[in-house]
Amino acid sequence: MNAVAFLCCCFVVLLMVPVALFLLTFIYRWSCVLCGLPKPTVLVASGIMFVAWLSLVMAVAVLETVVHEACAWAGLPQWEARIIVSLLALPLDLLISAGIESGLMGARFGKGVELWYTQRLILLSILAAIGLVVGIVLLIRQFG
């Protein structure tokens, strides 16, 4: 019975991958319109997002290695190294994403920063709405 449940979960996850990619591409294209940039096609938007993601993954991997080695040398625990990496990864994400997006979209770097902030604000709004709904459902279950 567990194998069937596992296969069903894998199937649902595989079905949700295109939905998630569509949602991320939709948010990117919507952010471009809100920032006054031309609306890219779905293929161009997904290509730009892939290049930015790949660059960020490589940069964060190097950052993580350097921070973990520095923390090990300084005698700090590894959980502190993870906190440092997560704090340093956000401005690194901003610089890489804004640079790649502005370069590939043919805009100034400031527009890339604006685009990055707009994307993150939309994603944060979606996560806050989901959290609100989950919180209301949990409160109804507990007190209902």
d(CA 49, CA 62): 20
* Every domain of the chain and the residues it spans: 24-123
pLDDT of the residue at 105: 86
- Which pTM does this prediction carry? 0.81
For residue 107, report the phi and psi dihedrals to the nearest 5 degrees: -120, 175
pLDDT of the residue at 1: 61
Q: Are 65 and 122 in contact (CB under 8 A)?
A: no
Number of neighbours of residue 83 by Cβ within 10 angstroms: 13
d(CA 72, CA 138): 42
**Within 13 Å, how many C-alpha atoms sit on residue 142's CB side?**
6
Low-confidence ranges of the chain (pLDDT < 70): 1
Residues near 64 by Cβ (< 8 Å), separated by ≥ 6? 85
Residue 94, SS3 per DSSP: helix
Residues near 80 by Cβ (< 8 Å), separated by ≥ 6? 71
Residue 75: its H or E element: none
pLDDT of the residue at 4: 87
